[in-house]
A = this chain, B = another copy of it.
Amino acid sequence: MGWGDLGVFGEPSKETPNLDRMASEGILFPDFYTANPLCSPSRASLLTGRLPIRNGFYTTNAHARNAYTPQEIVGGIPDSEVLLPELLKKAGYINKIIGKWHLGHRNKYHPLNRGFDEWFGSPNCHFGPYDNKERPNIPVYRDWEMIGRYYEDIYINHKTGESNLTQIYLQEATTFIYKYGISKQPFFMYWAIDATHAPVYASSRFLGTSRRGLYGDAVREIDFSIGQILEFLKNMGIAKNTFVFFTSDNGAALISAPHQGGSNSPFLCGKQTTFEGGMRVPGIAWWPGQLAAGQVSYQLGNVMDLFTTSLALAGLEPPADRQIDGIDLSPVILEGKEVERPIFYYRGNELMAVRLGPYKAHYWTWSNSWQELSQGINFCPGQNITGVTTHDQVEYIKPLLFHLGRDPGEKYPIRPSSAEYQNVMLGISPVVRQHKDTMIPGEPQLNVCDLAVMVNLYKIMKTSAI
């Protein structure tokens, strides 16, 4: 889901009344980011509080190469990483993941090996349907047991886009909340649904109801479901004890737009890129009675902060033996403070850009390759900014600098000869130098899956677009 898919962020059809209400009862973060413009690395960062280059969810076999965990991958989240549920468990929390795991397919990476007590969902997206010759359909688990496969056992009508998967995930959520809410057992629920990922689906109740087509139907169903969850927490009387955060793992995928892709408006490009459209995501904090309603926070936030913040709220310390990139947002959330911190935009093994305050400096630009473009794959459809949305990988000795307040769309680079440029870079350069000088990259986990697999998957995704 993209930043621009929410009514509160200007989607013209204004079809997310529940998320908009969540924001009006909580804190809206217009400057919230994911740790990577792709799914698996973002999720690894969310659960480890660390950049993909540290936690291993990246590649070194091609420069600035995006990678995730398709079925063929042997890698996964390393044992050496400490995951949020593992820590919360020590404080007596019961942890459940509902939906997409994405941190490794093999048994050793199973969520119940990594701090979760319960799982209903899948190691991957609902890609497919596959022919079971080249590759099987994606498995779905309840805890340790594989209960079936997408398409074969979990109904997804590829032609109509009908599936009640989000309803199943919602049912799992309320059942879990009820069970542990009633017994006053502290719990952590990671509701990792995938309805807006292509191939997009919605249940019959929502199908055909959006002014935005099928993608909008999926957004509406997610919005409805979040409304149900928040209502359920209120009705159980545990809302004031339950911190809820809504976000996304990357910007909307524009390669599948308009039928299967959403909106990153007003930001540049989408998923897979380190422009704002790829990494700026919705961020809403909700905690009735604990935080002042109706706030907008300009804090630069990151999904990695949810690791550190969750620990702080549970009275726990983050691991002291490693670099944690997430910061504790509890002073921001509870006291309205604002903390200066940089946002690092990585693509695979390369630091592409850095944001500090309102300024963003691109050290590298790349949308996608000429080869992909010639195949009709475009991460920036309809957007072409000379010297910015480059199809070659371009490195800058004098970084491309933008002021994201005046120019959220990254269209107007600030002239390197200007005083503004020089002043700003005096602040950004040492931050980048220090980050690079102290960086100890983790062992890359996603190298085994080579480019051919990615290209093949794009082909499948394109074919599956209605």
Q: A interface vs B, CB < 8 Å? A: 4, 8-14, 28, 30-31, 210-213, 215-216, 257-259, 263, 265-266, 268, 296, 298, 358, 381-385, 388, 403-409, 411-412
- A296 and B364 alpha carbons, distance in the complex (Å): 42
Listed residue (A211, A212, A215, A382) with the most chain B CB atoms within 10 angstroms of its CB: A382
4 closest A-B pairs by CB: A10-B10, A265-B266, A211-B405, A213-B406
Given contacts A11-B10, A211-B298, A266-B263, contact A384 B381 (CB under 8 A): no
Given contacts A211-B298, A263-B266, A266-B265, contact A12 B385 (CB under 8 A): no
| A265 surroundings in chain B (CB, below 8 A) | 4, 10, 265-266, 408-409
Contact A406 B4 (CB under 8 A): no
Copies of this chain in the oligomer: 2
Contact A257 B10 (CB under 8 A): no
Contact B263 A406 (CB under 8 A): no
14 A-B Cβ contacts within 8 A? Answer: A12-B30, A12-B31, A12-B266, A14-B30, A210-B405, A212-B405, A213-B405, A258-B411, A259-B406, A263-B408, A265-B409, A382-B409, A383-B384, A384-B384
Contact A381 B266 (CB under 8 A): no
Contact B216 A406 (CB under 8 A): yes
Contact A257 B411 (CB under 8 A): yes
Contact A405 B13 (CB under 8 A): yes
Contact A258 B407 (CB under 8 A): yes
- A212 and B402 alpha carbons, distance in the complex (Å): 12
| A298 surroundings in chain B (CB, below 8 A) | 13, 211
- A215 and B448 alpha carbons, distance in the complex (Å): 50
Given A382-B385, A382-B411, A383-B384, 9 extra CB contacts under 8 A: A9-B12, A11-B266, A213-B405, A263-B266, A263-B408, A381-B411, A382-B383, A383-B383, A384-B384
Which single residue of chain B is at the shortest CB-CB distance from A10?
A: B10
| A407 surroundings in chain B (CB, below 8 A) | 257-258
| A30 surroundings in chain B (CB, below 8 A) | 12-14
- A151 and B28 alpha carbons, distance in the complex (Å): 41
- Rounded to whole Å, the gap between the CB of A399 and the closest CB of chain B is 18
Contact B258 A406 (CB under 8 A): yes
| A412 surroundings in chain B (CB, below 8 A) | 257-258
| A14 surroundings in chain B (CB, below 8 A) | 28, 30, 296
- A263 and B4 alpha carbons, distance in the complex (Å): 14
Listed residue (A11, A12, A296, A408) with the most chain B CB atoms within 10 angstroms of its CB: A12
- A258 and B412 alpha carbons, distance in the complex (Å): 7
| A258 surroundings in chain B (CB, below 8 A) | 403, 406-407, 411-412
- A298 and B384 alpha carbons, distance in the complex (Å): 31
Which single residue of chain B is at the shortest CB-CB distance from A263?
A: B266
Contact A405 B31 (CB under 8 A): no
